[in-house]
Amino acid sequence: MSRGILVVVSGFSGAGKGTVMKRLLEKYENYALSVSVTTRKRREEETEGKDYFFRSEEEFEELIRRDALIEHARYVDNYYGTPRAYVEEKLEAGQDVILEIEVQGASQVTDQYPEAVTIFVAAPTMEVLRQRLTGRGTETPEVIAQRMKRTWQEAQLIDCYDYILINDDLEKCVDTLHQIIQSEHLRTERNLELTLEIQKEAQKQDPEEEDPLF
């Protein structure tokens, strides 16, 4: 069985990444969504271990010291990080692992996993983004302002990503994301053994040809 693909999804807060990921897992098989650790306060609708592992600053710093996180970053006054063990286990088991993380963390991941696929999700307009952030009613106006302000910092890094995806229609966005990942599986550099096998078989069709490859 071949190793799964690590998929890094970033995007502005309010772009709907969480909803897109949830729908991707409902609709298609073989994806594993990494659950991050955070020091942010749990929102009422969130569940420990499902949405996040909620930890204190001290506990989080201990995870950093023990090298238990692939990456970590501070985002609007809180720590966020990706547990290493789960990601490695699922990739080894051949599942495609999705990390939904912000831009600083994404660049730490691609340093360690250069073969990762990176996707930036944006809302159709800044106004739609603001409306979604306000509409979900989970953040104070101050936090919404901080998150909107941060879009400029994040937008400057969009061209470091392999793909950009506009989330204007949920189903379309989910299907496109799935197609991107499935196409990545077909890249020749991810299929070296298969390529060699085909070349060997093809060589046999022309026994007279001296082949410098084999």
Name the site residues for ligand 5GP (rule: CB under 6 A): 13, 36, 40, 71, 73, 75, 80-82, 100-102, 104-105
Q: How far is the CB of 105 from ligand 5GP (least distance, A)?
A: 2
Instruction: Tell the smallest beta-carbon distance from residue 36 to ligand 5GP (Å).
Output: 3
The closest residue (CB) to ligand 5GP is 105
- Whole-number minimum distance, CB 83 to ligand 5GP, in Å? 8
Residue 74 C-beta: closest distance to ligand 5GP, Å: 9
Shorter beta-carbon distance to ligand 5GP: residue 40 or 178: 40
Nearest distance from C-beta of residue 199 to ligand 5GP, angstroms: 41
Single out the residue of 132, 96, 171 nearest to residue 11, CA to CA: 132
Q: How far is CA 104 from CA 128, 140, 176, in A?
A: 24, 24, 25
**What value does the CA radius of gyration of the chain take, rounded to a whole number of Å?**
20
Nearer to ligand 5GP, 16 or 81 (CB): 81
At which residue do the structure tokens 């090298």 appear? 67
**Nearer to ligand 5GP among residue 114 and residue 212 (C-beta):** 114
Q: Which two structure tokens, joined as six digits, stand for 120?
A: 């930036």
Specify the residue, 143 or 191, whose C-beta has the smaller distance to ligand 5GP: 143
Comparison of 139 and 184: residue with beta carbon closer to ligand 5GP: 139
Amino acid in position 19: T
Residues 6+ apart with CB under 8 A from 131: none
Q: What are the structure tokens assigned to 98, written together? A: 């999705």
> Rounded distance, CA 18 to CA 46, Å?
12
Instruction: Record the tokens describing residue 52, joined without a space.
Output: 């996040």
- Identity of the residue, 82 or 95, whose beta carbon is nearer to ligand 5GP in the bound complex: 82
Give every CB contact of residue 93 below 8 A, 6+ residues apart in sequence. Answer: 1, 4
Minimum gap (Å) between residue 88 Cβ and ligand 5GP: 15
CB atoms within 10 A of CB 29: 7
- How far apart, in Å, do the first and last CA atoms of the chain sit? 25
